[in-house]
Amino acid sequence: MNTLIEHLAEACGRHRVQEKWLIAPSLRVGHQWLDQVTLAGTPVVNVRVLTVRSLALQVIGPRLAEESLTVASPAARRIAVASAWQDVMRDDGYLGEARRTPGLLALAEATILDLKLAGVAPEGFKTGAFEHRLKGHELTALLGAYQGELDRRGLIDNADAARLATAELAGNGAAGREIVLLWPEDIRLTAVEQTLLGAVAGGNVVTLAVDQPGGDDSGKDLSVRFVHAVGEANEVRGVLRSCLGEELSLDTVEVLYTASDPYVSLIYEMAQRVFDPETSLDLDIPVTFADGVPAKLSRPGRLLAAWHEWIHDGFPQSGLLRMLQAGLLTSPAGDDHAVATAGLVRTLRRTGIGFGRDRYQQCLQEHIDSIERPGSHLQSARALAGFVETLIAVSPEPSASAAEAVAAARALLGDHARVADKLDGLAVQRLGQELDSMAEALGGATADPAGFDVWQWLEELPDRITIGGSGPRPGHLHAAPLRGGGHSGRANTFVLGLNDGRFPSAGRQDPLLLDVERRQVAASLRTSDVELHEQLEQFDRVLAGLRGRLTLSFSSRSLDDDRETFASQVVLSAWRRVSLERDGDHAALMKRLDPAISFAPRDADRCLDSGEWWLYQAAREPRVENLPELAGAAFDHLARGAAAGTARASDAFTVYDGRVDDPGAELDPCDPRGPAMSATSGLQAIGKCPLAYFYARVLKIELPEHVDVNPDEWLDAMQFGTLLHDVLFRFVEKLIVDDTWPPEPERDRPVIASIVQSLAADARRRHPPPNEDAYRRQRRRLDGSAEIFVNEQARQAGPGRPVYLEASIGLPTEQRSTDIDAPDPVEVALPGGGTIRARARIDRIDRVDDGDAPKRPTFVIYDYKSSSRTDPYDPSDLFDKGRLVQHVLYMAVAGAVLRDRFGPDTVVDGFRFMFPGVRTHGREVAFGRDVVEPGLEVIRTLCALPAAGIFPATDDLADCRYCSYRAACQAVQRDLRDLCAASKRKIDNPGNTVLKPFVELRRDG
């Protein structure tokens, strides 16, 4: 029992039946004191715990009802301060020129309350006390305007409550009330509160003595130990490991923290990991938090923050996806949440919404209309559209009024917040109360309160509000802030976060009312140095009142930036006192302490879970020699991972490097059951990296649709390329129909400009640009390419003229069909036997003979490229070691279909890549028909790889640059250079005979 409890017990015994009012810093702390008295064997009868605030409210309760006064909620106070500031501050004033932010208003509110609690009234303000007289006048006016605003709204704040209660008692007289006031001597009171207690007491006061810091400790039952840890998370682990290793019952432990951030979150999350969820407990874990846990740890709190960001970022599709994926939103009623959400996520990814509140309904409807067959996809799209409609309905634009924004947030929590555990339920309740009180303070006003930013208030709400606060309970570990904790009377106390820089926290001056001004305005106003001193004094008092075992803990290494961190001065002082090393410095302290508590426990009996037990085995001395084998025996995936690592590190080409044993006919492009081949996603993909082809075409792994909005880009590379192709298609088609080929710049520039205008407007409707700059940049590129195309085609025009545009062979028709379109792939014979089925979409085929017999029908193929580089299409070896065969395949495919149409004499005489880009300026890279024969040899070699189940990684890092599977490969080998080097090593190993086709491509070109 500490001194306070002894005296309280004595007072309760002495005034056994008399009514007693016990003044405590909080109701929760007061009840903890009474519990200790009861536990010590003294009956507690007729004792009422009160704070100064609740005491004042009790005294003035009838008057509040009579005069229709209400205690101002935090929301109402904030609005009153904002209105007062707006009324009295001028832009050319002293404080008025400061930018009005929510932070500034919070400061102003704190300053006003300090002044009022210190008993400073506007009329008693000494304006000469300020660094500038104008500032004094402004603060006087602010104080007056704030009070006027409260009066106008029929509100009172805490200072008013204390003042009114004092006046009430003075009027009715405190004497005669047979009440004993129990008053701990260390309770901190403001001037106004002191006056109130004086009035209440009427002389019938029992002052309760407390343990004095620095007093005689010799008779105290208190042992102190010092620990340090690698980061704050391990300080928390240290507490739980002590409970386990020392067999401490949880309800004998109180954890005090110096800063709620990060300790409250760490304690909550660690407890969730270590303890099985127990639904009979308040937060499902055996831990009570005196101040609760922040609402941001709950799903509704996270939803409110994410929703705010979604609205203010312009309703991006990616924001909605993130909310769904994090499980923050309710799914359509009655469905399994995980399954229903996965369906919504999949469907949402397929719709090209981009961003914008108004685009959701329109794009989802277009998506629904595009689904041809009824089925689960259509169902999911309809469910998503219905779901989004209700979400959008409660999501206003950022320009909404404060009342609308608060009502919308309330509806969001009520209708859309997912509640999956107790914390979520409490969060919906508590956040809802805050929103209701703000709605009440706003009073449904259509005009926003001057100077008040409701969106910022909403954004900060989940951080500011705490939920699930509780006093100590049987069977629970109790966590409390250092300031206000240490009252549970438990035998084991841990104080976490005693780091230099964290405790004591630096005393900061109030920028609105400087220390020097505070001293002059009223002696009772607290200054920053007093605050600092009080922190240290409070620490000493808490320690003085503790009994049993005390552990002082600090973090000796920052995990964020991997640097050494140091103990607070209070730890050093306590250690000097305990160790009797009066001159000991930080180095001496560290030398005496046990090694830091880390992720790996030092004792087997302190492991919190099996993961910690394995870490302990990995770090212990003497070392366990065969740990990898033991781990492999216990965890099959680790054993397989180790085997894969060994195989990859060898020179042999193994199943872990892309070898498929017994691949089957369906992988063989030359087998009728095998895949039909296109140029870019088929043959050239193999030539670039067989492993990437394996991921895409064999395993059929697709990257999720990219939905993030790039603020610098209107269209991505593929969308821009498609738009340019569409423009060129329309333009050339028009000239064919009008029989005006070749183009004439003077005549045709306006024609192509109008096509660009129309198609760009359409693309803009489908893909709204993130900003006008991004649109203008790409629009200029498009305009430039269109003009270059007209000019260069006019300049290079020969006897030929386009006859087929976007011919689709083995593929569905995309634009307008041509008379050579074929739904089925065509067969292309390869040298040395074997046939592949090939498909192609050919941008343009020109006929270059004049169509008169007896000349052979002769054609040339054009392929437009929007790339700004021409070199990949102009390799020295014609086929870029297997990476370029489009020219070969297109000439072979077009030859087959054109011969069917025009007779066996028909010849495809050449192939041209055409680059109408601004940088490439209409350059053409031309190939003659002589490349077809050697090119088909290369295609044969390419096809041999999947046919044999051989899918090695590329040996050239340049191939990885734009690869979609970088993340997959980096999971195997963080540095892709190492992966390519390993592949090269295996290719160079003559023992890997199966790699012969790849060697032929890469080495023999």
Q: For binding to ligand SF4 (CB under 6 A), which residues are involved?
A: 689, 691-692, 953-954, 959-960, 963, 965-966, 969, 976, 979
Burial code of 184-198, b = ≥16 C-beta within 10 A, e = fewer? bebbebbbbbebbbb
Compute the least distance from the CB of residue 967 to ligand SF4, in Å.
9
Rounded to a whole number of angstroms, the minimum distance from the CB of residue 987 to ligand SF4 is 13
Q: Which CA distances in Å does 799 have to 43, 191, 962?
A: 113, 101, 39
> Which tokens sit at 988?
């160079």
Nearer Cβ to ligand SF4 (776/977): 977
Count the helix, strand and coil residues of the chain and give each as a percent rounded to the nearest 5: 50, 10, 35
What's the gap between Cα 410 and its chain centre? 23
Query: In the complex, what is the shortest distance from the CB of residue 907 to ligand SF4, in angstroms, rounded to a whole number?
Result: 37
Find the shortest distance in angstroms from Cβ 698 to ligand SF4. Answer: 12
Cβ closest to ligand SF4, residue 321 vs residue 942: 942
- Tell me how far, at minimum, the Cβ of 882 lies from ligand SF4, in Å: 13
- By the 8 A CB rule, do 519 and 527 touch? yes
Our CB check for ligand SF4 shows the closer of 394 and 972 to be 972
Q: What is the DSSP string of 863-905?
A: EE---S--GGGS-TTSSGGGT--HHHHHHHHHHHHHHHHH-TT
Q: How far is the CB of 955 from ligand SF4 (least distance, A)?
A: 9
User: Which lies closer to ligand SF4 via its Cβ, residue 196 or residue 691?
Assistant: 691
Convert 86-117 to b/e letters by CB count within 10 Å (16 or more is b): ebbbeeebbbbebebebebbebbbebbbbbbb
**Torsion sign across C-alpha atoms 60, 61, 62, 68:** positive
CB of 592 or CB of 974, closer to ligand SF4: 974
Closest by CA position to 566, among listed 228, 236, 226, 257:
228
Q: How far is the CB of 699 from ligand SF4 (least distance, A)?
A: 11
Tokens 């703000």 locate to: 438
Identify the CA nearest to 493 among candidates 222, 308, 718.
222
Of 637 and 961, nearer to ligand SF4 (C-beta) is 961
178 class by beta-carbon count within 10 Å (0-12 exposed, 13-18 middle, 19+ buried)? exposed
Residue written as token pair 């979604």: 310
Q: C-beta of 658: minimal distance to ligand SF4 in Å? A: 9
Shortest Å distance, C-beta 317 to ligand SF4: 27
101-104: long-range contacts (C-beta < 8 A, 24 or more apart)?
A: 101/453, 101/456, 102/453, 102/456, 102/457, 102/460
Half-sphere exposure of 497 (CA within 13 A, CB side): 21
d(CA 255, CA 492): 8
> Residue by residue, what is the 3-state secondary structure of 213-267?
CCCCCCCCCEEEEEEEEECHHHHHHHHHHHHHHCCCCHHHEEEEECCHHHHHHHH
435 vs 979, beta carbon nearer ligand SF4 = 979
Distance CA 404, CA 594 (A): 58
Query: Least distance (Å) from ligand SF4 to the CB of residue 803?
Result: 38
Q: Which is nearer to ligand SF4, 969 or 995 (CB)?
A: 969
CB of 692 to ligand SF4, least distance (A): 4
Q: How far is the CB of 983 from ligand SF4 (least distance, A)?
A: 7
Decide whether 357 or 985 has the Cβ nearer to ligand SF4. Answer: 985
Residue 977 CB, shortest distance to ligand SF4, in Å, is: 10
Q: State the Cα–Cα distance between residues 826 and 811, nearest whole angstrom.
A: 11
Compute the least distance from the CB of residue 495 to ligand SF4, in Å: 50
Is 556 or 954 the residue whose CB approaches ligand SF4 more closely? 954
Instruction: Compute the distance between CA of residue 627 and CA of residue 971 in angstroms, rounded to an integer.
Output: 23
Task: Select 211 or 955, whichever has its Cβ closest to ligand SF4.
Answer: 955
Q: Give residue 298's identity as a one-letter amino acid code.
A: S
Residue 312: in which H helix or E strand, if any? helix 299-312
Q: Is 751 helix (H, G, I), strand (E, B) or coil?
A: helix
Query: Any idea which residue has 């309905």 for tokens?
Result: 393
Rg for the chain (alpha carbons), in Å?
A: 39
State the nearest-atom distance from the C-beta of 702 to ligand SF4, in Å: 14
Residue 923 tokens read as: 């350059």
C-beta closer to ligand SF4: residue 741 or 965: 965
Beta-carbon contacts of 293 under 8 Å, excluding residues fewer than 6 positions away, are: 264, 265, 268, 283, 423, 466, 467, 468
Q: Minimum distance from CB of 979 to ligand SF4 (Å)?
A: 6
Q: How far is CA 593 from the centre of its chain?
A: 38
d(CA 542, CA 538): 6
Contact 410, 429 (CB under 8 A): no
Q: Which is closer to ligand SF4, CB of 574 or CB of 691?
A: 691
How many residues make up the chain in this entry? 1005
**Closer residue to ligand SF4, CB minimum distance, 616 or 653:** 653
Question: CA 284, CA 287: separation in Å to the nearest integer?
Answer: 9
Residue 854 or 962: the one with the smaller Cβ distance to ligand SF4 is: 962
Of 55 and 953, nearer to ligand SF4 (C-beta) is: 953
Question: What is the closest distance, in whole angstroms, from the C-beta atom of residue 718 to ligand SF4 in the complex?
Answer: 18
Q: Which is nearer to ligand SF4, 761 or 971 (CB)?
A: 971
Distance CA 126, CA 143 (A): 13
Q: Which is nearer to ligand SF4, 411 or 968 (CB)?
A: 968
Local structure of residue 965 (DSSP, 8 states): T
In the bound complex, what is the minimum distance in angstroms from residue 353's beta carbon to ligand SF4? Answer: 29
